[in-house]
Protein backbone atom coordinates (compact mmCIF):
# COMPACT_ATOMS: atom_id res chain seq x y z
CA UNK A 1 0.00 0.00 0.00
CA UNK A 2 1.39 3.40 -0.93
CA UNK A 3 0.07 6.89 -1.56
CA UNK A 4 -3.61 6.94 -2.29
CA UNK A 5 -4.44 5.10 -5.47
CA UNK A 6 -8.11 5.79 -5.81
CA UNK A 7 -9.76 8.83 -4.36
CA UNK A 8 -10.29 7.40 -0.93
CA UNK A 9 -7.79 8.64 1.66
CA UNK A 10 -5.20 6.12 2.70
CA UNK A 11 -6.09 6.28 6.38
CA UNK A 12 -9.67 5.31 5.56
CA UNK A 13 -8.51 2.36 3.52
CA UNK A 14 -6.29 1.39 6.43
CA UNK A 15 -9.19 1.64 8.84
CA UNK A 16 -11.23 -0.70 6.65
CA UNK A 17 -8.40 -3.21 6.53
CA UNK A 18 -7.97 -3.11 10.31
CA UNK A 19 -11.72 -3.33 10.88
CA UNK A 20 -11.72 -6.44 8.75
CA UNK A 21 -9.14 -7.99 11.07
CA UNK A 22 -11.56 -7.48 13.96
CA UNK A 23 -14.77 -8.44 12.18
CA UNK A 24 -13.07 -11.48 10.66
CA UNK A 25 -11.90 -12.71 14.04
CA UNK A 26 -8.16 -12.35 13.44
CA UNK A 27 -8.00 -9.88 16.31
CA UNK A 28 -10.24 -10.90 19.19
CA UNK A 29 -11.95 -8.66 21.78
CA UNK A 30 -9.81 -7.98 24.81
CA UNK A 31 -6.52 -8.71 23.07
CA UNK A 32 -3.81 -6.26 22.09
CA UNK A 33 -3.03 -5.57 18.45
CA UNK A 34 0.49 -4.86 17.16
CA UNK A 35 1.96 -1.48 18.01
CA UNK A 36 1.45 1.32 15.56
CA UNK A 37 5.05 1.34 14.32
CA UNK A 38 4.91 -2.33 13.36
CA UNK A 39 1.50 -1.89 11.77
CA UNK A 40 2.78 1.05 9.77
CA UNK A 41 5.66 -1.07 8.43
CA UNK A 42 3.36 -4.03 7.72
CA UNK A 43 1.02 -1.87 5.67
CA UNK A 44 3.78 0.19 4.12
CA UNK A 45 2.56 3.55 5.38
CA UNK A 46 3.98 6.18 7.68
CA UNK A 47 3.36 6.00 11.40
CA UNK A 48 1.33 9.21 11.30
CA UNK A 49 -1.11 7.79 8.79
CA UNK A 50 -1.49 4.57 10.75
CA UNK A 51 -2.13 6.64 13.85
CA UNK A 52 -4.89 8.54 12.10
CA UNK A 53 -6.61 5.25 11.21
CA UNK A 54 -6.29 3.96 14.78
CA UNK A 55 -7.58 7.23 16.24
CA UNK A 56 -10.61 6.91 14.00
CA UNK A 57 -11.23 3.40 15.23
CA UNK A 58 -10.97 4.54 18.80
CA UNK A 59 -13.62 7.19 18.09
CA UNK A 60 -15.78 4.42 16.65
CA UNK A 61 -15.31 2.50 19.90
CA UNK A 62 -13.67 -0.43 18.15
CA UNK A 63 -10.41 -0.19 20.06
CA UNK A 64 -9.04 1.47 23.17
CA UNK A 65 -5.55 2.95 23.19
CA UNK A 66 -3.58 3.31 26.38
CA UNK A 67 -0.34 5.20 26.57
CA UNK A 68 2.43 2.95 27.76
CA UNK A 69 0.37 -0.22 27.31
CA UNK A 70 -0.90 -0.69 23.78
CA UNK A 71 -4.01 -0.80 21.59
CA UNK A 72 -6.74 -3.24 22.58
CA UNK A 73 -9.77 -4.56 20.72
CA UNK A 74 -12.92 -3.57 22.59
CA UNK A 75 -15.37 -6.19 23.78
CA UNK A 76 -18.81 -4.82 22.84
CA UNK A 77 -20.41 -6.88 25.61
CA UNK A 78 -18.14 -5.42 28.28
CA UNK A 79 -19.52 -3.22 31.03
CA UNK A 80 -19.24 0.22 29.53
CA UNK A 81 -20.27 -0.76 26.01
CA UNK A 82 -23.04 -3.28 26.66
CA UNK A 83 -25.45 -0.58 27.81
CA UNK A 84 -24.64 2.07 25.26
CA UNK A 85 -27.89 1.62 23.35
CA UNK A 86 -30.00 1.95 26.48
CA UNK A 87 -31.14 5.37 27.63
CA UNK A 88 -32.57 3.95 30.84
CA UNK A 89 -30.60 4.80 33.94
CA UNK A 90 -30.72 3.64 37.51
CA UNK A 91 -31.03 5.96 40.49
CA UNK A 92 -27.27 6.58 40.39
CA UNK A 93 -27.50 7.86 36.84
CA UNK A 94 -25.74 4.86 35.27
CA UNK A 95 -27.12 3.30 32.12
CA UNK A 96 -28.66 -0.12 32.66
CA UNK A 97 -29.72 -2.86 30.26
CA UNK A 98 -31.45 -4.90 32.93
CA UNK A 99 -31.46 -8.65 33.51
CA UNK A 100 -32.87 -10.07 30.32
CA UNK A 101 -35.03 -13.13 29.94
CA UNK A 102 -35.72 -14.38 26.44
CA UNK A 103 -39.28 -15.48 25.71
CA UNK A 104 -40.13 -16.98 22.36
CA UNK A 105 -37.96 -16.82 19.26
CA UNK A 106 -39.56 -17.52 15.91
CA UNK A 107 -38.50 -17.25 12.30
CA UNK A 108 -40.91 -15.84 9.75
CA UNK A 109 -41.14 -13.77 6.57
CA UNK A 110 -40.78 -10.06 7.30
CA UNK A 111 -43.88 -7.94 7.66
CA UNK A 112 -44.16 -4.58 5.93
CA UNK A 113 -43.02 -2.82 9.08
CA UNK A 114 -40.00 -5.05 9.39
CA UNK A 115 -39.15 -4.60 5.73
CA UNK A 116 -39.27 -0.86 6.18
CA UNK A 117 -37.31 -0.63 9.40
CA UNK A 118 -34.69 -3.22 8.50
CA UNK A 119 -34.44 -2.36 4.77
CA UNK A 120 -35.31 -5.89 3.68
CA UNK A 121 -36.91 -7.18 0.52
CA UNK A 122 -40.26 -8.88 0.39
CA UNK A 123 -39.82 -12.53 1.24
CA UNK A 124 -36.73 -11.98 3.42
CA UNK A 125 -36.94 -13.73 6.74
CA UNK A 126 -36.56 -12.31 10.23
CA UNK A 127 -36.15 -13.68 13.70
CA UNK A 128 -38.61 -12.31 16.23
CA UNK A 129 -37.36 -12.31 19.79
CA UNK A 130 -39.45 -11.54 22.82
CA UNK A 131 -37.55 -10.18 25.81
CA UNK A 132 -38.31 -9.29 29.41
CA UNK A 133 -36.04 -6.88 31.23
CA UNK A 134 -35.93 -6.49 35.00
CA UNK A 135 -33.95 -4.37 37.39
CA UNK A 136 -33.58 -5.07 41.10
CA UNK A 137 -35.96 -7.95 40.63
CA UNK A 138 -38.75 -5.87 39.10
CA UNK A 139 -39.84 -6.34 35.48
CA UNK A 140 -39.70 -2.91 33.85
CA UNK A 141 -39.85 -3.59 30.14
CA UNK A 142 -41.27 -6.12 27.71
CA UNK A 143 -40.14 -5.93 24.12
CA UNK A 144 -40.42 -7.52 20.73
CA UNK A 145 -37.36 -7.39 18.52
CA UNK A 146 -36.96 -8.28 14.86
CA UNK A 147 -33.61 -9.15 13.27
CA UNK A 148 -32.69 -10.03 9.68
CA UNK A 149 -32.34 -13.82 9.68
CA UNK A 150 -29.58 -13.65 7.09
CA UNK A 151 -27.30 -11.83 9.53
CA UNK A 152 -27.68 -14.26 12.42
CA UNK A 153 -27.88 -17.78 10.93
CA UNK A 154 -28.61 -20.49 13.45
CA UNK A 155 -29.98 -18.20 16.15
CA UNK A 156 -32.82 -20.66 16.76
CA UNK A 157 -30.28 -23.27 17.87
CA UNK A 158 -28.79 -20.91 20.48
CA UNK A 159 -31.76 -18.88 21.67
CA UNK A 160 -30.00 -17.61 24.79
CA UNK A 161 -27.75 -15.47 22.58
CA UNK A 162 -30.82 -13.48 21.61
CA UNK A 163 -30.96 -11.72 24.95
CA UNK A 164 -29.02 -8.64 23.91
CA UNK A 165 -28.11 -7.07 20.61
CA UNK A 166 -24.52 -6.64 21.79
CA UNK A 167 -24.24 -10.39 22.40
CA UNK A 168 -25.74 -11.20 19.02
CA UNK A 169 -23.44 -8.76 17.29
CA UNK A 170 -20.33 -10.06 18.96
CA UNK A 171 -21.17 -13.69 18.30
CA UNK A 172 -21.91 -13.18 14.61
CA UNK A 173 -19.12 -10.71 14.02
CA UNK A 174 -21.36 -7.72 13.37
CA UNK A 175 -19.75 -4.44 14.36
CA UNK A 176 -22.10 -2.02 16.08
CA UNK A 177 -22.68 1.56 15.01
CA UNK A 178 -25.33 3.98 16.14
CA UNK A 179 -28.92 3.64 17.23
CA UNK A 180 -32.07 5.73 17.08
CA UNK A 181 -35.07 5.49 19.38
CA UNK A 182 -38.55 6.95 19.10
CA UNK A 183 -40.15 7.63 22.46
CA UNK A 184 -43.87 7.99 22.91
CA UNK A 185 -46.73 7.43 25.31
CA UNK A 186 -48.93 4.44 24.62
CA UNK A 187 -51.52 2.28 26.29
CA UNK A 188 -50.62 -1.24 25.15
CA UNK A 189 -52.73 -4.38 25.09
CA UNK A 190 -53.85 -5.99 28.31
CA UNK A 191 -51.31 -8.81 28.17
CA UNK A 192 -48.50 -6.26 28.20
CA UNK A 193 -49.86 -4.21 31.06
CA UNK A 194 -50.48 -7.44 32.96
CA UNK A 195 -46.87 -8.51 32.50
CA UNK A 196 -45.68 -5.08 33.66
CA UNK A 197 -47.95 -5.26 36.65
CA UNK A 198 -49.87 -2.10 35.89
CA UNK A 199 -53.63 -1.60 35.43
CA UNK A 200 -55.22 -2.44 32.10
CA UNK A 201 -55.31 0.68 29.95
CA UNK A 202 -52.44 2.30 31.84
CA UNK A 203 -50.06 4.59 29.99
CA UNK A 204 -46.48 3.47 29.59
CA UNK A 205 -43.45 4.61 27.61
CA UNK A 206 -43.07 3.02 24.21
CA UNK A 207 -39.46 2.74 23.05
CA UNK A 208 -39.21 2.08 19.33
CA UNK A 209 -35.56 1.56 18.50
CA UNK A 210 -33.47 0.63 15.50
CA UNK A 211 -29.83 -0.38 15.96
CA UNK A 212 -27.46 0.02 13.02
CA UNK A 213 -24.23 -1.77 12.25
CA UNK A 214 -21.07 0.24 11.79
CA UNK A 215 -21.56 0.08 8.03
CA UNK A 216 -25.03 1.59 8.37
CA UNK A 217 -27.18 -1.50 7.88
CA UNK A 218 -30.10 -1.77 10.32
CA UNK A 219 -29.70 -4.95 12.35
CA UNK A 220 -32.44 -4.82 14.97
CA UNK A 221 -35.83 -3.19 15.25
CA UNK A 222 -37.44 -3.47 18.62
CA UNK A 223 -40.50 -2.03 20.24
CA UNK A 224 -40.52 -2.04 24.01
CA UNK A 225 -43.13 -1.10 26.57
CA UNK A 226 -41.63 0.29 29.63
CA UNK A 227 -42.85 1.01 33.14
CA UNK A 228 -40.22 2.94 35.08
CA UNK A 229 -40.03 3.32 38.85
CA UNK A 230 -36.67 4.33 40.30
CA UNK A 231 -35.26 4.26 36.77
CA UNK A 232 -35.20 7.24 34.46
CA UNK A 233 -35.16 7.71 30.71
CA UNK A 234 -32.32 10.09 29.88
CA UNK A 235 -31.35 11.31 26.41
CA UNK A 236 -28.11 13.10 25.68
CA UNK A 237 -27.59 15.65 22.94
CA UNK A 238 -24.14 16.66 21.79
Partner DNA sequence: AAGTGGTCTAGACCACTCA
Partner DNA sequence: GAGTGGTCTAGACCACTTG
Where on the chain is the footprint of a copy of itself (CB under 8 A)?
84-87, 178-185, 203-205, 228, 232-238
Q: Site for DNA (CB under 7 A): which residue of 18, 19, 27, 51?
A: 51
Q: Which does 203 bind (CB under 5 to 8 A by kind): DNA, a copy of itself, none?
A: a copy of itself
Query: Per CB under 7 A, does 216 bind DNA?
Result: no
What's the rounded Cα separation, in Å, for the pair 36 and 111? 47
**Backbone angles phi and psi of 169, in degrees to 5:** -60, -45
Name which of DNA, a copy of itself, none residue 184 binds, using a CB cut-off of 5 to 8 Å depending on partner kind: a copy of itself
11 binds DNA (CB under 7 A): yes
Q: How far is the CB of 213 from a copy of itself (least distance, A)?
A: 14
For residue 4, CA distances in Å to 9, 14, 41, 55, 188 come to: 6, 11, 16, 19, 55
Burial of 77 (0-12, 13-18, 19+ CB in 10 A): middle
Minimum CB distance to DNA, residue 169 (Å): 25
Question: From CA 188, how far away is CA 142, in angstroms rounded?
Answer: 11
Nearer to a copy of itself, 23 or 81 (CB): 81
**What are the Cα distances from residue 132, in Å, to 6, 140, 168, 223, 226?**
49, 8, 16, 12, 10
Binding interface with DNA (CB under 7 A) = 2-4, 7, 9-11, 33, 35-38, 44-49, 51-52, 54-55, 65-71
Amino acid sequence: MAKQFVNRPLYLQLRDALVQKIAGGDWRPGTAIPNEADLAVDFGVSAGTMRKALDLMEAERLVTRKQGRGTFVNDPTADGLAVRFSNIRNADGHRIAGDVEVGSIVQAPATDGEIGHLRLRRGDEVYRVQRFRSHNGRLYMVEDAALPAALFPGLLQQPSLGNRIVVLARHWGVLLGRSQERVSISHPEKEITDALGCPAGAFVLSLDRVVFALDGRPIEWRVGYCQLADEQYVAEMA
